């Protein structure tokens, strides 16, 4: 914006506004002449965590440069902005983007992927910013062309097809995860997200009938059982984690695009002109349309009697807003229309959910339909051999048939549905 001019010094410098908290930020107005004016933002995080992406990483992603900053008596992250920049809203948005990236990071780590950390603790330790190193450097070939290519397995979610293969005999030996979109073409922000995740494209992938895929290679010096189990586990995690990770990453991107910055490696022209589709709009569209496609897997299924629909709907809505995939009947009216619900609900409550939250009440126990859901959930709990699959929410003093009295529950009467929603979100985040 102002070329190589100093972000801090001018003939006249005015602090227009400031924000203080977990992120300290100031907006400066710099003036070199009557009509020669510029604005710069200066940010200094005042806290850090012991692990994971840091607030400093958000600032590094969006391109704010770490430099000596007199406004924070040390180093700060600084950059040019436009007139009217809302520094207080920006500070809040950075904190929200950091929270979204932490959730994205958790889901991507389950898939054997990681987001780079351009800054980490460097701001606090005085070390230089980190350079991004692609894992592509560890692959000699293209992870497809090989004397031996074995298809191992496949899966899919509502957005992507996943395939898993083994190659050996050439310069590379190991496992390859292949990903192909269901809704082509990929938008520029999704392609940029894949680049950030170190996923590389291959135009003639035999796993997808010689269509393009995005791949990641896991090398193996020897095909030992421990390494094989680990790599298989990260592939199996894709179906429940990959799309969720992307959703949180896009949420963080949308927060920063609103201020003219980008977490993803896309051009400033794409940010300013929104060439394909404004990202904040696209995230809203994805969330709004989420009910129009039935996922193959759910983070939690909600089981309740009609008298508790208001509480069930609140719980389902809050958990969905937090980025998790929820089965709640009113989210999928067109998918349920015409189905054999006895068979379909057994599939949902017994096979396709990580957890089942049950609103336990006298009405729940007395109704024939809810008893069918309960029996399916308990069959899954029995198969899980003690794992905490059923999450009981007590609405009154009714005992749930077949539920051991030692199973912990939460009580709606003492906690209320807002606190129960927060507890369920925290449980899903830690799962």
How large a percentage of the chain has pLDDT more than 70?
A: 84
> Are residues 40 and 3 in contact, defined by beta-carbon separation less than 8 angstroms?
no
At residue 402 the predicted structure's pLDDT band, cuts being 50, 70 and 90, is: confident
How confident is the model at residue 279, as a pLDDT? 38
Prediction pTM value? 0.63
- The single-letter DSSP state of residue 127 is P
How confident is the model at residue 173, as a pLDDT? 87
Q: For the chain, what is the mean pLDDT?
A: 83
At residue 285 the predicted structure's pLDDT band, cuts being 50, 70 and 90, is: very low
Over residues 75-81, mean pLDDT: 89
Q: Identify the CA nearest to 405 among candidates 394, 414, 416, 420.
A: 394
Cα 311 to Cα 66, 329, 428, distances in angstroms: 47, 14, 19
Q: Which of 59-73, 238-252, 264-278, 280-294 has the lowest mean pLDDT?
A: 280-294
Over residues 304-325, mean pLDDT: 91
Q: Identify the CA nearest to 2 among candidates 35, 33, 40.
A: 40
Q: What is the C-alpha separation between 379 and 117, in angstroms, rounded?
A: 43
Order of strands across the sheet that contains 148-156 = 148-156, 160-168, 174-181, 211-219, 200-205
Q: What is the C-alpha separation between 215 and 198, in angstroms, rounded?
A: 9
How confident is the model at residue 284, as a pLDDT? 39
Q: Identify the CA nearest to 367 among candidates 398, 389, 406, 329.
A: 398
If you search the block for the tokens 């897997």, which residue do you land on?
A: 297
pLDDT for 324 beyond 90? no
pLDDT for 127 beyond 90? no
List, for residues 159-218, the tens digit of each pLDDT value.
Answer: 899 999 999 877 788 999 999 998 877 778 888 999 999 999 999 999 999 999 999 999
Answer positive or negative: Cα dihedral of 187, 191, 197, 201. Answer: positive
List, for residues 233-249, the tens digit of each pLDDT value.
Answer: 999 999 999 998 998 89
Higher pLDDT, 124 or 235: 235
Over residues 68-90, mean pLDDT: 86
List, for residues 338-387, the tens digit of each pLDDT value.
Answer: 888 888 888 899 888 989 999 999 999 988 888 889 888 888 888 766 56
Q: What are phi and psi of 207, to 5 degrees?
A: -70, -25
> Are residues 292 and 348 in contact, defined by beta-carbon separation less than 8 angstroms?
no
Q: What is the C-alpha separation between 187 and 285, in angstroms, rounded?
A: 14
Over residues 392-396, mean pLDDT: 95
If you search the block for the tokens 């269901």, which residue do you land on?
A: 182
pLDDT for 131 beyond 60? no
Over residues 77-86, mean pLDDT: 92
């Amino acid at each position: 914006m102002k070329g190589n001019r100093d972000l801090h010094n001018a003939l006249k410098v005015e602090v227009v506004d400031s924000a203080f908290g977990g992120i300290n930020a100031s907006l400066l107005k710099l003036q070199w002449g009557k009509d020669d004016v510029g604005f710069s933002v200066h940010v200094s995080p005042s806290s850090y965590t012991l692990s994971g992406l840091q607030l400093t990483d958000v600032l590094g992603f969006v391109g704010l440069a770490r430099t000596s900053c007199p406004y924070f008596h040390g180093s700060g992250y600084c950059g040019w902005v436009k007139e009217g920049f809302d520094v207080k809203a920006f500070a809040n948005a950075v904190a929200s983007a950091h929270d979204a990236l932490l959730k994205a990071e958790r889901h991507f780590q389950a898939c054997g992927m990681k987001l780079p950390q351009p800054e980490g603790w460097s701001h606090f330790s005085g070390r230089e910013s980190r350079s991004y190193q692609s894992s592509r450097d560890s692959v000699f070939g293209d992870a497809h062309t090989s004397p031996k290519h074995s298809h191992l397995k496949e899966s899919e979610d509502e957005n992507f097809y996943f395939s898993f293969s083994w190659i050996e005999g050439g310069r590379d030996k190991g496992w390859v995860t292949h990903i192909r979109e269901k809704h082509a073409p990929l938008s520029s922000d999704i392609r940029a997200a894949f680049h950030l995740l170190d996923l590389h494209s291959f135009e003639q992938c035999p796993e997808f009938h010689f269509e393009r895929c995005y791949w990641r290679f896991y090398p193996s010096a020897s095909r030992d059982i421990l390494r094989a189990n680990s790599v298989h586990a990260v592939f199996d995690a894709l179906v429940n984690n990959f799309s969720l990770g992307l959703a949180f990453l896009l949420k963080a991107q949308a927060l920063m695009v609103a201020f003219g910055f980008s977490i993803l490696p896309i051009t400033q022209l794409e940010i300013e002109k929104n060439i394909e589709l404004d990202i904040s709009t696209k995230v809203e569209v994805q969330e709004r349309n989420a009910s129009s496609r039935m996922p193959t897997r759910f983070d939690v299924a909600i089981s309740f009697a009609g008298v508790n629909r208001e509480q069930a709907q609140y719980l389902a809505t809050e958990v969905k807003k937090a980025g998790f995939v929820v089965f709640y009947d009113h989210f999928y009216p067109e998918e349920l229309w015409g189905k054999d619900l006895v068979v379909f609900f057994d599939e949902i409550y017994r096979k396709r959910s990580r957890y089942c939250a049950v609103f336990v009440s006298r009405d729940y126990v007395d109704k024939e339909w809810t008893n069918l859901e309960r029996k399916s959930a308990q069959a899954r709990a029995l198969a899980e051999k003690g794992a905490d699959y059923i999450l009981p929410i007590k609405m009154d003093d009714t005992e749930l048939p077949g539920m051991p009295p030692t199973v912990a529950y939460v009580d709606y009467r003492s906690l209320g549905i807002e606190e129960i929603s927060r507890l369920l979100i925290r449980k899903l985040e830690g799962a």
